[in-house]
């Protein structure tokens, strides 16, 4: 698969982390890359590296439509779409502010879905295209305090599975990337939302404190966490492969956790959770 045959690649959420690393690697591989973020001024480093820079807010219909039109006006279609934009709002099911949950779904699920809808007509007409959705191992298993975030990633799993079979007859492939712990600043957002969810006198105070400690320890452990470059390499494979896989799990620890959840069932998984979190 040549880089020109999938030109251009549109990547969301490029201001930092996985999106930034992915845009950088795609550029090095010779792809025409449209790097996007809500505030395009933060993408100066990518622009200087050769990326086309666009403003794109995946919670805004106007912003998404304008960005896709800009690419299609110049190239006729988006060759590959990398749906990366997303974040984690963490807290217990009982205490988390549902308005914040709705905002997270707008970014992690509905933004991904709508942007996909916008690029598909031109891809179908060309009978060619790639869609790469950045999910999470959190779409295959669930930890306490992360239920609502996990729900967004389970939704991405379902959307990707349905879409893959819907668009295959049109020559379009869909791949889902499922990273484990990736050091991107994601954990800082998660810890902040946990802190906001836990109030003095909360019946979940112990659980929230334990969760914060596990999160900090996990992301600081080189045996469990990797840098965003590991995900970028997998995205490049999904974009360039002649026969891209439907799923790519990133990090050995993520593969082990998914296997434990899938093979062990609820009893094994609940035992793992109790071992991690104790009685809080």
Residue pLDDT, tens place only, 164-176: 999 999 999 999 9
pLDDT value of position 190 = 62
Q: How far is CA 99 from CA 82, 142, 205, 259, in A?
A: 27, 21, 21, 33
What is the predicted pLDDT for the residue at 1? 47
| 31 neighbors 23 (Cβ within 8 angstroms) | no
- The pLDDT value given to residue 133: 98
The pLDDT of 55-65, averaged and rounded, is: 98
* Residue 186 confidence (pLDDT): 66
pLDDT at 194: 63
Active-site choice (34, 90, 148, 149): 149
206 or 4, higher pLDDT: 206
Total-model pTM: 0.93
Establish whether 149 is a catalytic residue.
yes
Domains of the chain are 3-277 (3.40.50.720)
Place of tokens 């791949």: 175
pLDDT of 191: 63
Alpha-carbon distances, residue 3 vs 40, 44, 80, 240, 242 (angstroms): 24, 23, 11, 7, 12
pLDDT in tens, 107-155: 999 999 999 999 999 999 999 999 999 999 999 999 999 999 999 999 9
Q: Is the pLDDT of residue 242 over 90?
A: yes
């Amino acid at each position: 698969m040549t880089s020109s045959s999938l030109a251009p690649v549109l990547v969301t959420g490029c201001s930092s982390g996985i999106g930034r690393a992915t845009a950088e690697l795609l550029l090095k591989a010779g792809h025409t890359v449209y790097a996007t973020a809500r505030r395009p001024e933060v993408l100066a480093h990518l622009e200087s590296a050769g990326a086309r820079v666009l403003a794109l807010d995946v919670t805004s219909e106007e912003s998404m439509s304008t960005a896709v039109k800009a690419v299609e006006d110049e190239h006729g279609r988006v060759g590959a779409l990398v749906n990366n934009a997303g974040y984690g709002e963490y807290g217990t099911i009982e205490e988390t502010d549902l308005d914040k949950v709705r905002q997270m779904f707008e970014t992690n699920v509905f933004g991904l879905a709508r942007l996909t809808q916008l690029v598909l007509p031109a891809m179908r007409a060309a009978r060619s295209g790639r869609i790469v959705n950045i999910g999470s191992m959190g779409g295959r298993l669930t930890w306490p305090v992360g239920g609502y975030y996990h729900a967004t990633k389970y939704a991405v799993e379902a959307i990707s599975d349905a879409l893959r079979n819907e668009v295959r007859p049109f020559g379009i492939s869909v791949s889902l990337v499922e990273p484990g712990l990736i050091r991107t600043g994601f954990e800082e957002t998660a810890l902040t939302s946990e802190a906001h969810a836990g109030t003095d006198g909360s019946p979940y105070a112990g659980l929230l404190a334990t969760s914060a400690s596990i999160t900090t320890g996990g992301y600081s452990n080189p045996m469990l966490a990797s840098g965003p470059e590991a995900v970028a390499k997998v995205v490049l494979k999904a974009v360039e492969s002649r026969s891209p896989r439907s799923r790519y799990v990133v990090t050995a620890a993520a593969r082990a956790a998914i296997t434990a959840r899938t093979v062990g069932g609820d009893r094994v998984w609940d035992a793992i959770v109790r071992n991690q979190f104790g009685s809080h």
